[in-house]
Amino acid sequence: MVTSIKDLMTQAREALSGRWGLAVGTFFVYILIVAALNHYPLLNWRGAGFHITISSSLVWLLIGGALTLGVATFSLAIARKEKADLKMIFSGFKYYGKTFGLYLLMMLFCFLVDATADSSRYYCSNFHQ
């Protein structure tokens, strides 16, 4: 059975009823974290004969899986009309090893798809920066 778009919109409005502020605020915090990590180098140090730069992309690779799981957990809690709060976006760090491994596999898969196929036909081609 296929659910109509109208029914999905009604379900979404019902799930968000009285929780719009929480949902918007939580996603705003998440977007601020992502934007900060994607636009600013974290370390750019020059010394005598060397230059060290730690890219924000490396940091996102390290924490992206945990934050992604946290946002998914928060979204599901809202959709299921369960208790949800801002702290949930950081709940993925409880499973850091698994989230890091899965995120790394996802990045590897996207890289391989882009490198070996007509990437304009795949979602991964728009995923990396």
Average pLDDT over residues 52-81: 86
Residue 86 structural domain: 5-126
To which H or E segment does residue 51 belong?
strand 50-54
Does the pTM exceed 0.85?
no
User: Which of 55, 62, 40 shows the shortest CA–CA distance to 107?
Assistant: 62
pLDDT single digits (tens) 67-119: 999 999 999 999 999 999 999 999 999 999 999 999 999 888 887 877 776 65
Give the count of domains, the chain: 1
Structural tokens at position 15: 């799930």
- Of residues 38 and 100, more confidently modeled: 100
Residue in the structure block whose two tokens are 């296929």: 2
pLDDT at 20 over 90: yes
